[in-house]
Structure 1
Amino acid sequence: GPELGWIVVTDDNSGLAASSEELAHGQESFSVLEGDAAAAPVRTADPMLPAGVLFTSGTTSKPKAVVHTHANMLWAGKVNPTNIDMGADDVYLASLPFFHVNTQAWAIWTVLGVGGTVVLQPKFSASRFWDVIAKHSVTHISLIPFVIKAAFDSGIPENHTVKVGVFGLIMPVLDQMMGMRVIAAYGMTELVTHCIHSNDFESYPDLAMGKVSPGYEFLIVDSDTGALCQEGEIGELWIRGVRGVSVFWEYFGNPEATEKFFTEDGWGRTGDMVRLLADGNIQYCDRDKDALKVGGENVSAREVEDVVRTVPGLADVAVVAKSHEMLDMVPVAFVILADPAADQDAIAAQIIEACKLDLADFKVPRSVYFVDEFPTAELGKVSKKDLREMADAQGDS
């Protein structure tokens, strides 16, 4: 006969048998799902079999389906607790979406590995943020920009229970302002865990991510020439681990993307631009696809954004590349004003002047565009892909 294609569960198990009307429409009782385990064929345990699929954020391109194996989950449970100083008595607040690696791998798999406690929130709540932490004596949280904003907006309690906040970068001022130890942890959906992280025994410069974690190797590569970058030079971060264990197995149904991510000798091209500091720490610079190549010169959008943010009256800023006939691309700035009624022309002039004072000519934004809000991708990240399209639609700069 035909193979079973779908089983759709439409209600909870009330314990009642299906009614005649339900049966007439092809519905059955929950009891039909209760099979005899002994009758099923025994399957040999294989840690390399797929265990789940998570999607990339889609900040710079269309989301891709990342296949994680059982071994990936076991790896995260084994190494993550040490990376973020989590023990069996600790409590992790999981308030971000479950379809994101931050909650799945960095929170849930970590807790399962160490035997700790996880607090699950159906939906992130800014107004209840500190109340939930106090009620459950939360010790660990994931810090991303909107969580940090919510924490500040709600008023940071003087004696809260959080001892560790996991963030992407070292920002000493954040430790002091939030009253907790902020651990830098870099990773991505494809790399499963914190493949770069900081620890308590070293001091770090601002915006450092720490050093490569055990079980991983790294290279910093010039994207144009393929040559290894020297200390202090900006290049693309390549990470190598064990495929299916410390890095993902494949992009589901997308062999072309899988082949593009992995080199022939197993290095994973992260698309993130970094530099190696003299003390061995890795400093984050930018996303490769958000980096600008102006007339052959590399420009970090983050560097330009930092200068633009020195101009008073700005709520937020994002710098992206705009297509240019001669230079290939030029930087432009998208700005959200703190006061929508402010003089846009005057502020645009201040932005250009500030950049001219602190940046090389080719790094100065060619245009300033004012918007009410930024387009976003997953978890509220600014979608620079959409901003680039908006910039190109504005015509010549």
Structure 2
Amino acid sequence: MTPSAHQDTFARDNLPPRETWPELVFSRPELQYPERLNCADAFLEVHVREGRGGRSCIVSPTESLTYAELQDRVNRIANVLTKELGLVPGGRVLLRSANNPMMVACYLAVLKAGGIVVATMPLLRAREIAYPVEKARIALALCDARLADEMRKAEPLCDSLERVVYWGTHDDLGLETLMENASPEFEAVDTAADDVCLIGFTSGTTGEPKGTMHFHRDMLAICDAYGKNVLRAEPDDRFIGSPPLAFTFGLGGIVLFPLRIGASTVLLEKAGPNELLPAIHEHRASVVFTAPTAYRAMLPRLPEFDVSCLRKCVSAGEPLPKATFEAWHEATGLALMDGIGATEMLHIFIASPEEEIRPGATGRPVPGYEAKVIDSDGLELPPGSVGRLAVRGPTGCRYLADERQTKYVERGWNITGDTYLMDEDGYFWYQARSDDMIVSSGYNIAGPEVEAALLTHPIVAECGVVGAPDEERGMIVRAYVVLREGESADAATAKLLQEHVKREIAPYKYPRSIVFVDALPKTQTGKLQRFALRRQASEEAAR
């Protein structure tokens, strides 16, 4: 590793042992980076330096900023951090906010000052906030004042947290007041390309969150691999999306990708389907990032809005059902760009540009990444075989002081926990999370495949499918179903859905048990928590 600029060495001290890292591959010219770089320069400074400071950068319902205006704000915050709040290179800063311009300014200011960002979902409660604070030994937090209640409840739970500074308070101790007296000039800290700049905590789909450690060069690599070679957006594009910036899908999709190419982005604090569609219409957004469930929910309201401005629609965060792909394409003429990413990898590593999309397939490895399907012993399987997904490239898993590092990385490859099939043409077809595979009477049944079949029925709003213990079959397929408003949650409806699934996929895969629920357990990023459903199914079987 390159000599670090970090005075606070916590991050480097708590990287996993080097022999447990995945192999990092920099196989393409665009992925060659100097030994020293501060990624804030590439996302902000370069545009002002090269005469693009007057270009639109961030648009929101309350304010809009050019690149030069954002630079001024970032520099003032960086000066506050280093001269007033005691941040030294390598120090961790907790950020708490919805998606808005101030959140982005704080994010870039921490990076520019050589600090390490730990961003959290706005809806987290006190104990959920305290976990990353203690795990990453965070001393300083910057927080939107509207989120003060839970932040204050979290403070007594955090031994390491020394100070919280709020913005939006307009008082003498608020961030804006401190910024007024700060200089608008700040030179980026001369960080190493492999200095940690972000600790992203996983969303908890499989249990206790893990802190994933990312370098300055990683922030550029996802832009120069996926952004440059697959997304292929242009400086005149306007990005928009729903994922929170604390979710690396959102960070890349609606901040890093546009800023890397000098484009603009629309930030919405509320970006559900009912807010996203009118915002696309109003702001003439051309690139959208959201989850499959959001695209499905937006379909009925498409005729109400002019979305002819859209050029590219990216879907990730969970599997994209073919039915959703086809319905969106029929309604808009646009192909949903599916992709799989991971917090451990920072962003998407398998996807295809529009002209290479095969509906139902996730895609092929993003240029700069390699992927293969392996068996339980780590041996590569031939095309057409179902097995575990392994991937490597310019980014990779490095958990913060976590023994699970050796479970995620095997023989230099990142093992994502997904079950895939690769066809003869190198396209990867999602089967299930590795722990979502249901074995019933000797048959392997992928829960997400059953979910996709159920979602093709118009009365199903949402569903989650897991294996439930069964004395006769070992496991049976159980579906937890949220019906659309006005539908009857009775035995006749369950029978209707079972017969529907039998028509959609192999009959042996149908859910022998259907439980109607008002809501499904989800993470703060909106992902279905199948582990919670599996636990519920086990508890129900034990009664």
The aligned amino acid for 2:450 is V
The aligned amino acid for 1:162 is L
Gaps of 5+ in 1: 19-28
Q: Residue 200 of structure 1 corresponds to which residue in structure 2?
A: 354
- Contact 2:384 2:424 (8 Å CA) reproduced: yes
Q: Residue 244 of structure 2 corresponds to which residue in structure 1?
A: 97
The aligned amino acid for 1:161 is C
| 1:222-237 pair list within 5 angstroms | 222-223=375-376, 225-237=377-389
Q: Residue 63 of structure 1 corresponds to which residue in structure 2?
A: 209
| 1:267-346 pair list within 5 angstroms | 267-294=413-440, 297-309=443-455, 313-324=459-470, 328-338=474-484, 342=488, 344-346=490-492
Identity of matched residues, % = 26
Counterparts in 2 of 1:332 and 1:71: CA distance versus 1, 3 Å = same
Question: How far, CA to CA, are the matches of 1:15 and 1:396 in structure 2?
Answer: 56
- Contact 2:243 2:290 (8 Å CA) reproduced: no
1:93 positional shift: 0.9
Q: Residue 363 of structure 2 corresponds to which residue in structure 1?
A: 210
Q: Give the 3-state SS of the residue equivalent to 1:9 in structure 2.
A: strand
Give the alignment partner of residue 311 of structure 2, picking from 157, 163, 182: 163
- Contact 2:223 2:257 (8 Å CA) reproduced: yes
Question: How far, CA to CA, are the matches of 2:489 and 2:223 in structure 1?
Answer: 53
Q: Residue 340 of structure 2 corresponds to which residue in structure 1?
A: 186
Counterparts in 2 of 1:259 and 1:131: CA distance versus 1, 3 Å = same
Question: How far, CA to CA, are the matches of 1:30 and 1:189 in structure 2?
Answer: 33
Question: How far, CA to CA, are the matches of 1:266 and 1:222 in structure 2?
Answer: 15
The aligned amino acid for 2:302 is G
Q: Residue 68 of structure 2 corresponds to which residue in structure 1?
A: none
Question: How far, CA to CA, are the matches of 2:393 and 2:502 in structure 1?
Answer: 43
- Contact 2:350 2:363 (8 Å CA) reproduced: yes
- Higher Cα Rg: structure 1 or 2? 1
Aligned residues: 373
Q: Deviations over 1:120-145 (max 9, x none)?
A: 11221544433322333211001313
Q: Deviations over 1:301-345 (max 9, x none)?
A: 123334445667443332101234575533212122336662622
The aligned amino acid for 1:247 is G
- Contact 2:197 2:216 (8 Å CA) reproduced: yes
Single out whichever of 129-138 and 269-278 deviates more from structure 2. Answer: 129-138
The aligned amino acid for 1:219 is K
1:383 and 2:529 matched: yes
1:396 positional shift: 5.7
Aligned-CA RMSD value: 3.4
Q: Give the 3-state SS of the residue equivalent to 1:57 in structure 2.
A: coil
- Contact 1:163 1:181 (8 Å CA) reproduced: no
- Contact 1:126 1:154 (8 Å CA) reproduced: no
1:352 positional shift: 4.4
- Contact 2:419 2:434 (8 Å CA) reproduced: yes
- Contact 1:96 1:123 (8 Å CA) reproduced: no
- Contact 1:273 1:288 (8 Å CA) reproduced: yes
Question: How far, CA to CA, are the matches of 2:501 and 2:452 in structure 1?
Answer: 10
Q: Residue 120 of structure 1 corresponds to which residue in structure 2?
A: 267
1:106 positional shift: 2.8
TM-score (norm 2): 0.61
Counterparts in 2 of 1:240 and 1:328: CA distance versus 1, 3 Å = farther
- Contact 1:166 1:183 (8 Å CA) reproduced: yes
TM-score (norm 1): 0.81
Question: How far, CA to CA, are the matches of 1:83 and 1:183 in structure 2?
Answer: 9
Counterparts in 2 of 1:108 and 1:347: CA distance versus 1, 3 Å = same
Q: Give the 3-state SS of the residue equivalent to 2:220 in structure 1.
A: helix
The aligned amino acid for 2:336 is V
1:387 positional shift: 1.0
Counterparts in 2 of 1:121 and 1:360: CA distance versus 1, 3 Å = closer
Q: Deviations over 1:238-297 (max 9, x none)?
A: 10124xxx224x22231x11221111x310010111111233211111111222233554
Question: How far, CA to CA, are the matches of 1:226 and 1:289 in structure 2?
Answer: 17
Counterparts in 2 of 1:89 and 1:370: CA distance versus 1, 3 Å = same
Question: How far, CA to CA, are the matches of 1:336 and 1:15 in structure 2?
Answer: 46
The aligned amino acid for 2:390 is W
Counterparts in 2 of 1:276 and 1:96: CA distance versus 1, 3 Å = same
- Contact 2:459 2:487 (8 Å CA) reproduced: no
Counterparts in 2 of 1:275 and 1:119: CA distance versus 1, 3 Å = same
Q: Taking CA–CA contacts closer than 8 Å with sequence separation of 6 or more, which of the two structures ends up with the larger relative contact order?
A: 2
